Amino acid sequence: MNESPIFTRTHDLLRWLLTATRKFPREQRFVLAQRIHQQGFALQDALVAAGLDRARQAQHLIEADIALNVLRKTLLLCFELELLTSGQYRHVAEMTAEVGRLLGAWRKQK
């Protein structure tokens, strides 16, 4: 399970998110940064659950897809509020797109 590229890419995404949100202004660290962290970990949790729970794998993959899409919307809001630079947003958008492609391929297998 941990050998799959989706787990590696998700880990890289989480590491990037945790580092980038440290630089948010104090008032946003407790709102948007915390929300981003929760969504990122919800994505990771759902992927791990999908890898372990074959009986409910499809449901866990749907949960992962929802968490990823909500994360994307929150990151767009952060960009619009100028909490992320255009370069940072472009980078994280590429990272989420890669996780999304891998997630989509996994969902199609089921």
**pLDDT at 1 > cutoff 70:** no
pLDDT in tens, 20-55: 999 999 888 889 999 999 999 999 999 999 999 889
Domain ranges of the chain: 5-109
Q: Rounded to two decimals, what is the model's pTM?
A: 0.91
In whole angstroms, give the CA distance from residue 14 to residue 19.
Answer: 9
Mean pLDDT (the chain) is 94
pLDDT of residue 96: 98
Pick the CATH number of 5-109 from 1.10.10.60, 2.60.40.1930, 3.30.930.10, 1.20.1440.60: 1.20.1440.60
CA distances from residue 55 to 47, 59, 86, 110 in whole angstroms, order as listed: 14, 9, 41, 11
pLDDT of residue 40: 98
- Whose tokens are 């929150």? That residue is 74
